[in-house]
Amino acid sequence: MLKNRSLVSIRDLSRAEIELVLDTAHKLENHRGRHLEHRQVALLFYEASTRTRNSFLTAVHQLGGSEAGFSSGEGSSVAKGESLHDTIKMFSAYCDAIVLRHPRDGAARWAADVSDVPIINAGDGKNQHPTQTLLDLYAIRATQGRIENLSIGIMGDLKYGRTVHSLVDALSLYPGVQLHCISPESLALPKSYGPHQVHQRLEDVIPQVDILYCTRIQRERLPDEAEYEKVKGIYRLNAAHLHNARPHMRVLHPLPRVDEIHPDVDVTNHAYYFQQAAGGVAVRKALLYLLLGLS
């Protein structure tokens, strides 16, 4: 179903394909094997990454494969001015798949068009981050038993946050999902992302939702420092806010957090962001397994 395909945008997947990835991730969660033996996966990270890069690296190793690539553009041929086109052409000749993180919107689609092997988008500018979305969905399903008919709050930078854009796209495939967006007006979700309820106060939303998805205000993506100063620290979830949350409500975050979730939330039953991040390895193993047609 997914063999030899690239994953550039969550929109590339149907609901059935998303479910296949999540089911495969569940099966592979504690699995180690030699499915990728004698195969190489290129990890081309033009931007810094901790969780995404290392969970892909761990996934490759747990499936018995090896990796090539770089973890920042510096020190590679990229620093000498090589185009993305040429870098992709070269690595697609060396490797069986390419995991790409790039600062430009649309870089992954361009890479997929020129590559001879599957491209997995590990984040392109402010556009898409589909593997994060799959692990977000994995966490939602694990904690709520389903994705459809849930009430989901999304808080923070909804304008520039690529994890938000990918997640909203994916949730549109599930009937009955109610979206509550909590952000300052300047960082609101673009209207093109479909129907959603808009809130400015976090406290109004907490009792209404099954999932609260928090995101960081991304200093590096705002147009200037003055814009950042206006909105930094605007939402800070703490344990006291959760007194009227539904008992099964879980707080998710793509991490890293800055100050939008106080550490006192970590010890509540609502915190799930570390388990969510841990699921990233299983999801990325599932993607490699399916896109490379492993058995």
Q: How many CB atoms lie within 10 A of CB 35?
A: 18
Contact present, 284 and 59 (Cβ < 8 Å): yes
Residue closer to another protein by CB (options 23, 105) is 105
x-or-dash string of contact with another protein, 150-189, rule CB under 8 A: ----------------------------------------
Contact present, 252 and 224 (Cβ < 8 Å): no
Number of residues engaging another protein in binding (CB under 8 A): 18
85 binds another protein (CB under 8 A): yes
Q: How many residues does the chain have?
A: 295
84 binds another protein (CB under 8 A): yes
129 binds another protein (CB under 8 A): no
Candidate residues 14, 23, 75, 105; the one interacting with another protein per rule CB under 8 A: 105
77 binds another protein (CB under 8 A): no
100 binds another protein (CB under 8 A): no
Among residue numbers 222 through 241, which ones bind another protein (CB under 8 A)? none
116 binds another protein (CB under 8 A): no
127 binds another protein (CB under 8 A): yes
9 binds another protein (CB under 8 A): yes
DSSP-assigned states of every residue in 50-66: SHHHHHHHHHHHHTT-E
104 binds another protein (CB under 8 A): yes
Distance CA 171, CA 192 (A): 14
The strands making up 40-45's β-sheet, listed across from edge to edge, are 66-70, 40-45, 97-102, 119-124
Q: What is the signed CA dihedral for 110, 87, 122, 4, rounded to 10 degrees?
A: 70
109 binds another protein (CB under 8 A): yes
24 binds another protein (CB under 8 A): no
| CA 232 remoteness from chain centre | 22
Candidate residues 185, 192, 243, 295; the one interacting with another protein per rule CB under 8 A: 192
Candidate residues 55, 128, 163, 215; the one interacting with another protein per rule CB under 8 A: 128
3-state SS assignment for residue 135: helix
215 binds another protein (CB under 8 A): no
Distance CA 99, CA 111 (A): 10
Shortest gap between Cβ of 223 and another protein (angstroms)?
10
Tell me whether residue 185 is exposed, middle or buried, using C-beta atoms within 10 angstroms of its C-beta: 0 to 12, 13 to 18, 19 or more. exposed
Candidate residues 35, 53, 101, 102; the one interacting with another protein per rule CB under 8 A: 102
Contact present, 195 and 179 (Cβ < 8 Å): yes
Shortest gap between Cβ of 51 and another protein (angstroms)?
23
Distance CA 202, CA 182 (A): 6
Q: Report the interface residues with another protein, using CB under 8 A.
A: 9, 83-85, 102-107, 109-110, 124-128, 192
